[in-house]
Amino acid sequence: MSDSSKRMANPSDLEHLAKLFDGRGNLKDKLDEAFTRASQLGVQDKLAALKPLRSWTGESATDLRRRAAILRAEKGDPKAAALYAGFKPDELKGPLLPPDAMLIANASIASGEKFDAAWLERKPGETYQDWLQRIPGDAVGKVSGNENLGEVVGDYIQLTALASTIPGAFQHAALGIYYLKKHFKGQDFLKAPGTTLSQLLKGQSTSRLIPARVKSLALRVGSRMPAPLLDALTGKDNLARVLGGRQWAWEANLLKVGNRAGRLNRAAGASRLGAFTSGAGTAMRTAGWWRMAGVGGGLLSTGIGVIDVVQEGHPATAFKREGAGYVAKVSGTAFNASLTAAMIAPTPVTIGATVVTGLVYGASSIIANRKSLREFPGKVADAGRWAGKKVDEGAGKLVDGAKKLGSALNPFD
């Protein structure tokens, strides 16, 4: 296909044609079905001439999708590079490719045969999140021509993500153990994760990790806020007491609050839909804006994690391929799910699940990244020496250029 014909083509048409080759119930499936039946009947040799057609359908579909992705890249589609890599549209439900990497990736495939874009292709078992994390480092390696520098960038991104998530997982696990211990001693109710700020504004934080000066300042801020605004942000304690049987909003089980409010409205003659709507609204007012925002973020993170795990394929194969890395992905998804459940309903079961999954997630993530943690300092040193060499080369060229310019401008030289 020539450059001009590629630009005249419609990417949607190319993708539809690819689907006719390898889509569900189309040519590839029918060929597979025919070979399966022939094998059952013992006449598979009669279809020997058609055997190359099976691989051809897959290869042709892949080629058509890549050509469509090139056209999309030329039109500025932000997910064109991911489509070129081999991901399907329904797999691209996570966050968009970071802008800096997106520009390099899309420019690479838009240039067609002029630039080798094989580094963008999806690796066996690679998920969309893995691909998003790999691309920036690989892009730096390609642009600089220094593979080690690309690895430094990739490891830095990976270790930065590790540093931002693992301490939080261990912290939630430690707090969960503390809350469970207090709960079973009958000293305190369980508290929903992510409600520390609400507790501080109402002067009810019992954490010893927060300085007394910070607690005092937060209480002064909270006491000066209008009561309706404070309730909207931190939750309505009177609803927690009346409908949830708890003193504070962050202790209330939102499912119980919503269910009881719905039943009261139902008893008053409301329709089922009306009772459900009223119950959901009451639960959200009890939670407050900050807690509900945490629930929404938790649901999103859990959904992305589930997609990531599904893309890994069969669990046994994925574990054999990645080991602790796969355990980290599964336990990370389970941790987000249990943390979200604890935000909605802080019970011994949900808090206990947060403790277990948080510990497994943190430990497996460290084990999975132990090689990067060990080798990162040496890679940084090598990258520093390479950068210093390039600076010296640049300085030398600058001096030579200045001498040549001075000689050209000097009429007595």
Lowest average pLDDT, out of 6-10, 139-143, 146-150, 309-313, goes to 6-10
More confident residue, 13 or 276: 276
pLDDT at 382: 62
Q: What are phi and psi of 192, to 5 degrees?
A: -70, 135
| Burial state string for 369-397 with b = 16 or more CB within 10 A and e = fewer than 16 | beebeeebeebeeebeebeeeeeeeeeee
Residue 59 has pLDDT above 90, yes or no: no
pLDDT digits (tens, 9 = 90+) for 178-234: 889 888 888 777 889 989 899 999 998 877 778 889 999 999 999 999 999 999 999
- Mean pLDDT in the chain? 79
State the pTM of this model: 0.68
Percentage with pLDDT > 70 across the chain? 78
Residue 148 has pLDDT above 80, yes or no: no
Euclidean distance between CA atoms 220 and 39, whole angstroms: 79
Structure tokens at 99: 């802008």
Stated as kind and residue range, the H or E segment containing 54 is helix 51-74
Residue 133 has pLDDT above 60, yes or no: yes
Euclidean distance between CA atoms 289 and 276, whole angstroms: 20
Structure tokens at 319: 């574990």
Residue type (1 letter), 55: S
Residue 409 has pLDDT above 50, yes or no: no
Quickly tell me which residue has 């807690």 as its tokens.
Answer: 291
Structure tokens at 92: 């691209």
pLDDT at 39: 79
> Residues for the chain: how many in total?
413
Residue 115 has pLDDT above 60, yes or no: no
Cα–Cα distances in angstroms (integers) from residue 37 to residues 33, 34, 54, 165, 326, in the given order: 6, 5, 15, 51, 37
Lowest average pLDDT, out of 8-12, 16-20, 236-240, 313-317, goes to 8-12
| Mean pLDDT to the nearest integer, 237-256 | 92
pLDDT at 5: 47
Residue 277 has pLDDT above 50, yes or no: yes
pLDDT at 248: 92
Quickly tell me which residue has 């939750």 as its tokens.
Answer: 235
CA atoms within 13 A on the CB side of 170: 10
More confident residue, 332 or 153: 332
What is the pLDDT confidence band of residue 393, given thresholds at 50, 70 and 90? low
Euclidean distance between CA atoms 287 and 281, whole angstroms: 10
pLDDT at 253: 93
Residue 154 has pLDDT above 50, yes or no: yes
Euclidean distance between CA atoms 402 and 397, whole angstroms: 9
pLDDT digits (tens, 9 = 90+) for 28-41: 777 777 778 877 77
pLDDT digits (tens, 9 = 90+) for 311-327: 888 888 888 888 888 89
> Which of 341, 344, 367 shows the shortest CA–CA distance to 354?
341
Q: Where are the alpha helices (DSSP H) in 125-271?
A: 128-144, 147-184, 196-201, 212-224, 227-234, 237-244, 254-267
